[in-house]
Structure 1
Amino acid sequence: MKTILLATDRKFWRQEQGSAKRISDLYKYLVRKKFDVFIFFIGKLTNTEIDLIKLAYDNEFKVFNKGCGFLSIDCNTTAQSDILIKGKLLLKKKTRLLRNLFFNKSLTAHNKQSEKLEIINFFSQEHQNYFRTVYQELNPQAIIVEYIRLAYLVQDFDKVGTQSLTLIDTHDVAYERYQRFRANGESEIRITAEEEKQLLSRFDVILAIQNKDKETFKEMLPEYHVIQVGHPSKPKKHEFLNKLPINITYVAGPNASNKRAITHFLEKVWGKLIAKFKHNIKLHIVGRICEELTDVELPANVQLTGWIDDLESVYEEADIVINPVYFGSGLKIKNVEALCHSKPLVTTTVGAEGLEHGINDAFLVSDHPKEAFEQISTLIESEEIRKKFSDKAYAFACQNLAEDKVYRELYQVLNNST
């Protein structure tokens, strides 16, 4: 069994945003494929976080953390559990099984990035030294680092005599993300293309989340191994429901681009839809994006649900899914999920990045409020057209978004590692 050390500073077990769900799904896939996966987590691991880990997984969760040392968490126990920390057996209090911990603002509040925050701000000599200690103890066949901000972990790694394959999971092109957010008046981690190139060059394999990113990285580093690893989801066909009111659904996490997207939609599109269809439609907003909308005056027929652990039921009830995002980067995981749930999807050109071959076939794209109004109106008015896009979404998902297809290159790379 090959050993993999996965390094991250995201509490990915919470799965409250697409990027966290991507890491969580990757972790579960590697475990199912019989890799021995250890997590190197930079951050505070409280009893609450351990409880949430136990809720999220059903295997032994092995994690190295500077504050706690090594923890082996038995995710099959839901009452009192024993946790091994640095060889000492500690008794943990009864696990709290309250799912609403996921939506407790005091626990899940996210940090706003400062405009002055640069990639160098993430460097920690303490964590770098600990990572090297863990590496020498574990001697993994492969190391996967999540996000370029943690690339410092493998800086000068040749000095420790590493034989491991090193991989960086980029999630997006960081300098492009910075430029896009800045152009829209939002802050993001400051990084230049040259800085990103230097950081990526520390790794043997670069993971791009979509084809456009892959081409960018290959232009940056033509001699390096770049592979495309998107986000998979199990395609499923829900029973087609012809009912009123028509349920238009938006699922999102709490970030600036999502807030701007849905508030713009409410201002420019939703009012016209309500004027035309009145009580025959409703807008269902789901996820931690709801925390960002407490200061927004909501128009008629808009329901804020907040965090729901069971997204399956959300998509089952949805008739049309929207993602009116107009700035961002990477792959829009909420779009992947909508297509894999065989739902008619209306998004934007930005939202379709990485899924371009499905535009206006598997889903609809509109970059202006008038177009969005017309496309959504057509779907509302025609059961036949909704069903057509449902069928096409499912076919697209089966062909492009199934797990074995998305992870194929990565699996081959990891299997061939020494």
Structure 2
Amino acid sequence: MKKILVVSPVQTPPVLSGSQKCIYEYCELLRAIGFEVYFLYIKGQNEIEKHLKNYWGDRLFIYKRNLILDVFKRGFIECRKKISGYNHIDDLYPVGLTRFVKKLQQKNNFDAIIINYVILSKLFTSKLSGKKILYAHDCLSFKKQRLNVKQFWIDLTPNQEAKGLQRCDTVLSIQENESVYFKYLYPQGNIVTVYSNFKVSQQTITGNKNILFLSGKSILNVNGINYFITEVFPLILEKEPDVRLVIGGSICDVLPRIENPNIKLLGRIDKEETFYEMGDIAINPIYQGTGLKIKTFEALAYGKVTIVHPHSAEGIYQPQKAPVFIGHTPQEFAKHVVDALSDIKLRKLYSDKAVAYIQDLNLFIERQYCQILS
């Protein structure tokens, strides 16, 4: 049985964010298809969750950052960033990580090492046996400019991102558009689109008039739902006055108080499937950001009629076959929602289409990993 080491600055489980979900799901997939998977968590100041220890057991390794050295390094980084305006590819690489991984590799002889995020690619500049694989999660070139935000946790130039990519044997991208860009930065590289797999859990059609949105508290998610509430939802209410917008997740912690009786904030959700049982129609109005459109795939996996902003359909698996409705304008977005609210047959038809689509996606992803790690 082949042994794989997954290296991550993000602990999973628990699954509370998109990055945690991606890592958790591909680790589950690798275990399911017969690989022996180990997890190295790079610990910062966060507490280690008991879920992490319980899930991984004796296959969990923990590398504790040297906080004193990190503080000195961070001061230098901030000074340089004020001059250049951008990060260096190795700015966030933990001091001493390479030595730690070398010892693990000598003891365990892993067949492949998968790092999460290109910021850890310095690990692959050392002499390590086995395949060197990057799960990219995101494109980090000109990140602040592309998101139109003042701050982001790291912001690279294309040259710096290319430097990190070119240290890896294989780069795993989570959407097609980013694969194209990575191929431009690393023409000789093995760039593979793997998306992220989602557990299919088709739910019974409720027939009610709830619209569902489950999200974290990122400013990009806040901007998206505010767009929907101000531009789209009033148009829906004109046709369907009994409709209810149900919002769940940590986004509720940062949304301003909403007086509209047709909008309900549930707060943090313990069980994702329980939230999605509340209706048949899900929306993804996010119009900014990069990476995988997790909320789009997630809703489809539960068999929901899924209506999205065009941005939230970019780079998805087989877009011409994806059973999503795209609202290019507030009027078109509202029309798709109203049509779904008034047509139970449409809900059932698209529920079946959504599940078939996710099942096909999961099979594609499994084949990709088998080929990469064979």
Q: How far apart are 1:362 and its partner, in Å? A: 0.7
TM-score scaled to structure 2, two decimals?
Answer: 0.87
Please state how far the C-alpha of 1:359 moved relative to its aligned partner. Answer: 5.7
Q: Does 1:213 align with 2:178?
A: yes
Q: Aligned pair count? A: 357
Amino acid at match of 1:333: I
Contact persistence 2:215–2:251 (CA under 8 A): yes
Mapped partners of 2:196, 2:36: distance in 1:
21
Q: Secondary structure at the match of 2:179?
A: helix
Q: After superposition, what is the alpha-carbon deviation per residue over 1:194-228, rounded to whole angstroms, capped at 9, x for unaligned?
A: 11111000110110112222222222222111111
Tell me, in whole angstroms, the C-alpha distance in 2 between the residues paired with 1:176 and 1:394.
36
Cα pair 2:175 2:317 within 8 Å, conserved: no
In the alignment, structure 1 residue 146 sits paired with structure 2 residue 107: no
Displacement after TM superposition at 1:296 (Å): 4.4
**Cα distance in structure 1, aligned partners of 2:39 and 2:117:** 14
Q: Which sits farther off after the overlay, 369-378 or 19-28?
A: 369-378
Q: Does 1:289 align with 2:286?
A: no
Work out the CA distance in 2 between the residues paired with 1:255 and 1:14.
Answer: 18
Give 1:42's aligned residue: 42
> In the aligned structure 2, how far is the partner of 1:296 from the partner of 1:187?
26
Deviation at 1:343, TM superposition (A): 0.7
In structure 2, give the amino acid aligned to 1:2.
K
RMSD, aligned CA: 2.6
Displacement of 1:242 in angstroms is 1.9
The alpha-carbon deviation at position 13 of structure 1 amounts to 1.1
- Tell me what 2:198 maps to: 233
Structure 1 CA distance, aligned partners of 2:150 and 2:338?
A: 31
Using the aligned pairs only, state the percent identity: 27
* 1:175 to partner: Cα distance: 1.2
- d(CA) in 1 for partners of 2:266, 2:60: 33
The equivalent of 1:110 in structure 2 is: none
What SS does the aligned partner of 2:10 have? coil
2:91 aligned to which of 121, 126, 133: 121
Query: Are 2:224 and 1:261 equivalent residues in the alignment?
Result: yes
TM-fit CA distance, 1:363: 1.0
SS of the counterpart of 2:240? helix
Question: 2:158, 2:17 → 1: CA distance?
Answer: 26
In the superposition, the TM-score normalised over structure 1's length comes to: 0.78
Any unmatched runs of 5+ in structure 1? Answer: 69-113
Determine which of 247, 250, 261 is the counterpart of 2:210.
247
* Partner of residue 173, structure 1: 139
Give the direction of change, closer, same or farther, for the CA distance of 1:187–1:299 in structure 2 (3 Å limit). farther
Structure 2 letter corresponding to 1:283: L
Paired residues of 1:16 and 1:287 also in contact (CA < 8 A):
no
Distance 2:284 2:117 in 1: 24
Which shifted more, 123-132 or 364-373?
A: 123-132
| 8 Å CA contact 1:186, 1:256 repeated in 2 | no
d(CA) in 1 for partners of 2:151, 2:344: 39
The CA distance in 2 between the partners of 1:191 and 1:377, in whole Å, is 42
Alignment of 1:48-67 (within 5 A): 49-53=48-52, 57=55, 60-67=57-64
Task: Name 1:134's counterpart in structure 2.
Answer: 104
- 1:6-405 equivalences under 5 Å are 6-44=6-44, 49-53=48-52, 57=55, 60-67=57-64, 118=87, 119-154=89-124, 156-158=125-127, 162-175=128-141, 177-181=143-147, 183=148, 187-243=152-208, 246-278=209-241, 280-293=242-255, 295-355=256-316, 357-358=318-319, 362-399=323-360, 401-402=361-362, 404-405=363-364
- The one-letter code of the counterpart of 1:41 is Y
